[in-house]
């Protein structure tokens, strides 16, 4: 006898053993109703297929059937509860193949967007999470009570190893804590990875000895897995304390393996989100940056680009603040339309990073909106200073000093030439 299943159960109350997925759903014209579209999503993402099948036993259906327990027709939002048995807990690719897989290609849907995902306790406990977290990063840099300030070497690509190291040195001399590679700088014909590491860390050591301040370099190790491991080893062997990886282009399985590999190494992982907007920017389709941020916290990235609100990159205030809260707090209380509850247990928080189109002029607004548990990175807003990188770095530091003292940038600039010239250029 064929088992006929109804996946909609609005009386279902999810428990701690269920993964919850929240979707924005726009049905195709050929689809009868939002309820029918919801049924198709629940079915395709779990145990069902396009027709009734004799191989689906009542026992399987009872044990593994997900439940569409929430349907908001006005806002086209649904929530589905999946038993944890549907997932290989420490296998993020498998989890996403279910709740964010074939369903995006179904003819019954015009658009589909995974708004949020809430992981049950057992899945959360199967992941390591960040090794360092916010407190560990602050202890590594010996910086407390203020945000971390950094830059990205510009131009993105084109400088040789010595020129790259010189730019890093100028930024550190100007007072910045961090210099990182850009997302498309790896091992180039004109800038070899290993020589760049050696030259840059040599200058880092020199600046640290001169200033007495901790300085950090974040080299981009992005590559295939075997090479990333070798590059991470090389960084650690040469006294580096950070690695950077392009999280989406290398893939979720690579991130899990890299996090495992670095467990016994003293390396903070900085996560660059290149490619994310291809998945997240369309507000009707794909998935949200919030979902990606949760996944990165589970897998164990220590720092993550989450948005600036201001600057050149897309991302609104409500969205960025929700993401930052989700990756920095231990218990999240959700709402009906954009966010689900999440208990992170012992998983450490992730340090949010704001980067993209920032200059010293943005510092007061950044602190006011995003606070001090942040990394603020200034690329063109450092190197584009009329007097060069070192002066640009000084202007950023001066802008932070003024903001933390409650002084306007204009007043502070009266006695700080670097900030004055930054104001003149970018205001």
CATH code: domain of residue 347:
3.20.20.110
What angle do the packed helices 289-299 and 317-328 form, to 10 degrees? 20
Give residue-wise pLDDT tens across range 241-292.
999 999 999 999 999 999 999 999 999 999 999 999 999 999 999 999 999 9
The answer to whether 24 touches 112, Cβ cutoff 8 Å, is yes
Nearest CA to 130 among 264, 344, 301, 373? 301
Domain contains 11: no
Specify whether 324 is located in the same domain as 352: yes
Tokens 């201001």: give the residue: 310
Tokens for 401, please give them: 């000093």
Looking at the structure, tell me whether residues 279 and 419 fall in a common domain.
Answer: yes
The verdict on 84 and 148 lying in the same domain is no
Q: What's the Cα-to-Cα distance from 332 to each of 20, 88, 134, 154, 241, rounded to whole Å?
A: 14, 24, 17, 38, 31
- In-domain check, residue 234: yes
Percent of the chain whose predicted confidence (pLDDT) is above 90: 88
Closest by CA to 96, choosing from 222, 248, 246, 221, is 248
Where does a domain end: 73, 97, 125?
A: 125
Choose among 395, 409, 374: nearest CA to 143: 374
- Is there a single domain that holds both residue 243 and residue 388? yes
| Residue 10 falls inside a structural domain | no
Other CB atoms closer than 10 Å to residue 361's CB: what's the count? 18
Determine, yes or no, domain membership for 13.
no
Peptide bond preceding 47 in cis form (omega within 30 of 0):
no
- The total domain count for the chain is 2
* Rounded-to-integer distance, Cα 277 and Cα 156, Å: 19
- In a domain? residue 1: no
Task: Check whether residue 318 and residue 360 sit in a common domain.
Answer: yes
Indicate whether 250 and 325 sit together in one domain.
yes
Q: Are residues 57 and 145 in the same domain?
A: no
User: Rounded to whole angstroms, how far apart are CA atoms 91 and 93?
Assistant: 6
User: Is 179 in contact with 153 (CB distance < 8 Å)?
Assistant: yes
**Per-residue model confidence (pLDDT) at position 272:** 97
User: Are 260 and 205 part of one and the same domain?
Assistant: yes
Sheet bearing 67-72, strands edge to edge = 67-72, 77-83, 18-27, 109-118, 286-287
Does residue 4 lie in a domain region? Answer: no
Give yes or no: residues 213 and 316 share one domain: yes
- Mean pLDDT of the chain, nearest integer: 94
> Cβ neighbours of residue 217 under 8 Å, at least 6 residues apart?
168, 178, 179, 180, 200, 201, 204, 240, 242
**Phi/psi at 344 (nearest 5 deg)?**
-85, -5
In the predicted model, residues of the chain with pLDDT beneath 50 are 1-2
260: which residues sit within 8 A by CB, 6+ positions away? Answer: 128
Backbone region of residue 89 per phi and psi (left: phi > 0; alpha: psi in -120 to 50; beta: other values): alpha
Do 260 and 327 share a structural domain?
yes
User: Around Cβ 335, how many Cβ atoms within 10 Å?
Assistant: 10
Pairing mode, if any, of strands 77-83 and 67-72?
antiparallel
Q: Are residues 344 and 392 in the same domain?
A: yes
Q: With contact defined as beta carbons under 8 Å apart, do 353 and 304 qualify?
A: yes
Structural domain of 58 = 18-125
Q: What is the CATH number of the domain that holds 94?
A: 3.30.70.150
- Report the b/e string of 30-53 with b at 16+ CB within 10 A: ebeebbebbbbbbbbbbbbeeeee
Q: What is the pLDDT of residue 64?
A: 82
Tell me, yes or no, whether 387 lies in a domain: yes
Q: Which of 203, 166, 149, 171 is nearest to 377 (CA)?
A: 149
- Helix, coil or strand: residue 319: helix
Structure tokens at 261: 């590999």
Same domain, 81 and 158: no
Domain ends where: 74, 91, 125?
125
Catalytic residues: 154, 272
The phi, psi pair for 338, rounded to 5°, reads -130, -15
Distances (CA, A) of 300 to 169, 259, 261: 30, 6, 12
Angle formed at CA 285 by CA 282 and CA 291, multiple of 5 degrees: 90
**What is the pLDDT at residue 55?**
63
Can you tell me whether residue 82 is helix, strand or coil?
strand
Q: Considering 125, 150, 179, which residue would you say is the last residue of a domain?
A: 125
């Amino acid at each position: 006898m064929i088992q006929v299943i109804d996946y909609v159960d609005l009386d279902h109350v999810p428990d701690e053993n269920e993964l919850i997925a929240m979707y924005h759903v726009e049905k195709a014209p050929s689809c009868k109703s939002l309820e029918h579209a919801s049924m198709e999503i629940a079915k395709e993402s779990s145990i069902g297929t396009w027709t009734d099948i004799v191989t689906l036993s009542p026992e399987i259906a009872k044990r593994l059937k997900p439940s569409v327990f929430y349907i908001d027709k006005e806002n086209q939002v649904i929530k589905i509860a999946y038993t944890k048995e549907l997932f290989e807990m420490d296998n993020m690719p498998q989890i996403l193949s279910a709740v964010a897989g074939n369903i995006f290609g179904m003819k019954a849907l015009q658009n589909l967007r995974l708004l949020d995902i809430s992981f049950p306790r057992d899945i959360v406990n199967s992941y390591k999470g960040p090794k360092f977290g916010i407190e560990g990063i602050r202890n590594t840099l010996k910086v407390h009570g203020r945000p971390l300030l950094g830059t990205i070497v510009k131009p993105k690509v084109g400088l040789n190893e010595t020129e790259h190291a010189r730019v890093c040195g100028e930024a550190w001399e100007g007072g910045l804590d961090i210099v990182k590679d850009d997302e498309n700088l790896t091992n180039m014909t004109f800038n070899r990875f290993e020589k760049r590491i050696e030259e840059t860390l040599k200058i880092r050591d020199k600046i640290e000895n001169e200033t007495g301040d901790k300085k950090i370099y974040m080299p981009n190790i992005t590559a295939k897995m075997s090479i990333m491991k070798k590059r991470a080893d090389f960084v650690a062997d040469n006294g580096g304390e950070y690695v950077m990886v392009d999280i989406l282009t290398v893939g979720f399985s690579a991130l899990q393996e890299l996090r495992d590999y670095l467990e016994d190494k003293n390396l903070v992982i900085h996560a660059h989100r290149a490619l994310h907007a291809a998945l997240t920017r369309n507000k009707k389709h794909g998935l949200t940056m919030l979902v990606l941020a949760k996944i990165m916290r589970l897998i164990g990235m220590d720092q993550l680009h989450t948005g600036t609100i201001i600057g050149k990159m897309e991302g609104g205030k409500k969205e960025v603040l929700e993401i930052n809260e989700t990756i920095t707090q231990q218990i999240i209380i959700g709402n009906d339309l954009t966010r689900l509850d999440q208990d992170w247990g012992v998983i450490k928080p992730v340090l949010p990073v704001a980067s993209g189109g920032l200059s010293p002029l943005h510092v007061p607004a950044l602190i006011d909106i995003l606070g001090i548990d942040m990394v603020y990175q200034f690329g063109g807003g450092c190197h584009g200073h009329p007097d060069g990188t070192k002066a640009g770095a000084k202007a950023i530091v001066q802008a932070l000093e003024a903001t933390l003292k409650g002084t306007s940038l204009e007043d502070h600039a009266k006695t700080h030439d670097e900030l004055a010239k930054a104001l003149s250029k970018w205001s």
